[in-house]
Chain A
Amino acid sequence: MEIIISNRSDKPIYEQICMQVKSLIMDGTLSAGEALPSMRALAKDLHISVITVQRAYEDLTRDGFIETVSGKGSFVASQNREFIQEEQLRIAEELLQKVAEIGRAHGISFEQMTNILKLFYEE
């Protein structure tokens, strides 16, 4: 498992961990049932506070990505990946609809919009 933390980023470290674990699960690098490093081990490897890791794991548990068994550790939850992806796609659709409305109303070309999206994707 690879996690890269930026100390310069505006995003809090727990959010960075949370997002990276989510994308590792979504792209299949981490599969259901796989064990995540213990909170203390991850804190040690990243040189951060245990509380920060704890918060990331709590958020991941809340969002259904991992399950924590006390005394055993945290594991990737056996949820339906397609279901989550569909759910997220629906949210993205809604936001994109808004983008299209703004664009049409203010004469921003489709090309300009897609360029922006492309930029964000490559970030």
Chain B
Amino acid sequence: MDNNVLVQNLCRQFEDFSLDNVSFKVPKGRIVGFIGENGAGKSTTINLILNELKKDSGQVQVLGIDHTIPTVKENIGVVFDECNFHDVFTATDIEKILKGVYKTWDSNLFSQYLKKFKIPTKKTIGVFSKGMKMKFSIICAMAHRPKLLILDEATTGLDPVVRDEVLDLFLEFMQDEACSIFFSSHITSDIQKIADYVILIHQGKIIFEEQKDTLVYNYGVAKCGKEKFALLSPDDYIIHRTTNLSMECLVRDKEAFKRKYKNVIVDNATLEDIMLFYVKGGISCED
């Protein structure tokens, strides 16, 4: 088993939205970032993997077994974008509950994390700040030493300091090579920092599944005037868009492109650029 998550041809039809033939994998020991605009199908996919939503067809394997087998959840840690613990409880109360839920709950680890992230044990969750709530949710998801961490927009809405602390926590978790993280976010900078692979979903379809380094180091954005653009071979770029002043196109291999077209400016592409090209691709920016 080389993949901690294996999704094949996953489909789910809703009235106004459908997840269409989604396939991807989360390899062991890797961090996979899942990006896409709001409503692209990120949370739907995650809920289907967790079997919280029923799939119409397709296969999902988590940690080597079918995701509908309940015991699989023993080894998964999940964090959603909101803290779902009730406001009246304290961290100590929550621990009592979760200790009963997970066989592998590690109280030492839990209190270590609480100390590290300065989470008070006697205050109720209701008075926690948003950052504290999020950190607490992540700690709770990790204290039973899962093999797989699934996070849905867990870093969205956090300030840069807390986001950095959370990334630290993720990377510490990844020191065990059997573990994987699958995390969705539309904050592409977090994913650009630590992800090994990136998956882009758009309108319920997977657009690409690629090594992050390939995206960041090979892809580029070429910019030129309309006349020069007419001379470019359509095979040399993936998508183009028109702005008021120039043409921009996303190229797969910026070095090769630079060699072929000497007078065209080619910038490095960030994940955000790439996502924007695919999502808004081809549409003129004038409208």
Contacts and interface: CB of A to CB of B under 8 A. Distances in A.
The residue among A10, A12, A48, A49 with the most chain B CB atoms within 10 A of its own CB is A49
A55 interface: yes
B193 A48 contact: yes
A49 B195 contact: yes
A44 B31 contact: no
Interface string A53-76: 001000000000000000000000
Contact of B167 (A14, A47, A52, A55): A47
Contact of B217 (A12, A47, A48): A12
Given A12-B213, A49-B194, A49-B213, A44 B168 contact: yes
Interface residues of B, number: 20
Given A49-B31, A49-B196, A50-B30, A44 B171 contact: yes
Contact of B175 (A41, A48, A51): A41
A52 B193 CA distance: 11
Given A49-B195, A49-B196, A50-B196, A43 B171 contact: yes
B213 A40 contact: no
A74 to B, nearest CB: 15
A82 B212 CA distance: 37
Nearest to A43: B171
Contacts of B195: 49
Interface in B194-252: 194-196, 211-213, 217
B194 A51 contact: no
Contacts of A40: 171, 174-175, 177
Contact of B213 (A10, A14, A41, A44): A14
Contacts of B194: 43, 47-49
B172 interface: yes
Nearest to A52: B213
B29 interface: yes
A60 to B, nearest CB: 16
B167 to A, nearest CB: 6
A49 B167 contact: no
B187 to A, nearest CB: 15
Contacts of A52: 213
Nearest to B195: A49
A51 B197 CA distance: 9
Interface of B: 29-31, 164, 167-168, 171-172, 174-175, 177, 193-196, 211-213, 217, 268
21 contacts: A10-B268, A12-B213, A12-B217, A14-B213, A41-B175, A43-B174, A44-B171, A44-B172, A44-B175, A47-B164, A47-B193, A48-B194, A49-B31, A49-B212, A49-B213, A50-B30, A50-B174, A50-B196, A51-B212, A52-B213, A55-B213
